[in-house]
Structure 1
Amino acid sequence: MKIDLSRQAIRNLIAQKFPRLKRDSNDLRDAYFLDFVRRGKNSTRIVRVLPTGNADVCQVKLSVSSLAGVVRPGEILDAEQLAEAVAEEILRFEEGVPGDDGDEVFGSSVIESTKDAKSPAGTAQRRALSKLQVPAFEYRTDDVDCLRGLIYFFEILSADGVQVSSYVGQSLNSNRPLQHYAKRTAQVLAGVKGRPVHEALGDAIRAGGRVVCTLLCNAAPHEIDEVETALIRELDCHGPGMHQLNRQPGPGPHGRPTPERLLPIIARVLERRRCQKG
């Protein structure tokens, strides 16, 4: 979508209205990321701004809507509409649509393309999926700040309380672990294929087991990868075993001891886990 604003005017607007967005620029474009710059499957990118041949006109690409197959009606005509669009993108991102851990968009396994998403059948499918009954997980938030970056832990327990499998992940806030996973599990129960962790959660619900989601700790952007990697290792979530649901050992450095500066964080998490298990 094109907007009659210069690249610098858009920079000023976003800096003023959205201080959480971090700009990453080169000669070809400005990319804006939520809270910190991360690319790839865990990308935090919200919007891209590309110059055109006219210095007073830019092209705006809404990253989250594009991934979700959402087609915005009309054009962005002015600064006010751009601010509204960016605010909606941030909200959509934080609600987990699409999943910021590489998940499919909510309903995207059923609706294969943007063209299908715009069709009446595609719209009906999305509405049906959004009304699925969400399974009842158990949640423990402890003293974790739900508005900051955090590490979460999913446990699948048998009906008699024995741990069957587990998974560690990270999120910018609590929306994904406390909301998105249950929605994706509802889709799995309705026959929509999910990632291995979603399939395992769905299997647990079908078998009458329990799912417990615990927010383990907060972590700053510069250390969250290392904290996640350390906890995947300490909580035995990666490996060849059926109980290990993390497919990768984590995004941080592998095969090295946990940095000394992070040991107090890991120790607090493990001590709390011991207390919870009695």
Structure 2
Amino acid sequence: MNALLYCLVVVIWGTTWIAIYLQQGPVSAPVSIFWRFAVASSVMIVILLAGGKLRKLSGRDHLFCLLQGGCVFCFNFWCFYTAAAWINTGLESVIFSMAVLFNAVNSFIFFGQKPPLRFYIAAGLGLTGIVTLFWQDLLNSGFNHSLLLGIGLSALGTFGFSLGNMISLRHQKKGLEVLTTNSWAMLYGTLLIAAIALVRGDNFTPQWTFSYLSALLYLAIFGSVIAFGAYFTLVGRIGPSKAAYSTLLFPLVALTLSTLYEGYVWQVNAIAGLVLILLGNLVMFARPEALMGKLLYRRRTA
């Protein structure tokens, strides 16, 4: 079950970056985000109500859902949608992979969960692989002002996402159901981003084109309803640090699509980066200390 959830998160969120790119244009970032989560939260709440699965929450729990919605479904996406105007979405996915580090630190701060040594080894390999994968692109960009601004916004968005992870873990430690808390958080995030758009004086009319609307529906149903449900379920089942490690694979999906549709050419650094990322994934989930123990046991009994 964990493997299925993990694959869903990687594949879906790995493809949402292109959908975000398709929404770049005359519609402001807050309005695009509003429509995305207005559709997603409505679908989730209707489904839960129809199935009698929308559970009651206390006032305090609703407050935490509001905080989660502000972190994940408002601030996080506002940063990334805005940053997409200055840096490509593939680079955004690289920066988003820092969630694995933010979650490890925040888990220790808020819950006292000290990650095992293999986590640091895996994260180090994965992040090194991603940097290697995109190193030539970083050099070609020249580290100009727009790039630095895009990187800064993407890092802030990732930090907001990580804080939302901590709140989701708090919900599940209290025995609250993921779908209920996720639905309320998404609704509150929708209202918050709508308030921001109103204050900014944005026009709420979407772009009536096939590419924009299809991207909107994909982001709302697959990228929000399905992927967020799977991800926050993983947070509760295996912890935020391990769940966030899935973000290290997003750039691979993005690069695969770029190869097929945008003519991305794999260089030596890209291949080396791919190997490092897969090796980090193996270290994280193969429990090398357990494997080593088995090998030692076999040698002693041989």
The normalised TM-score by structure 2 is 0.25
Per chain length, whose mean CA-contact separation is higher, i.e. which structure has more relative contact order (CA < 8 Å, sep 6+)? Answer: 2
Greater fraction helix: 2
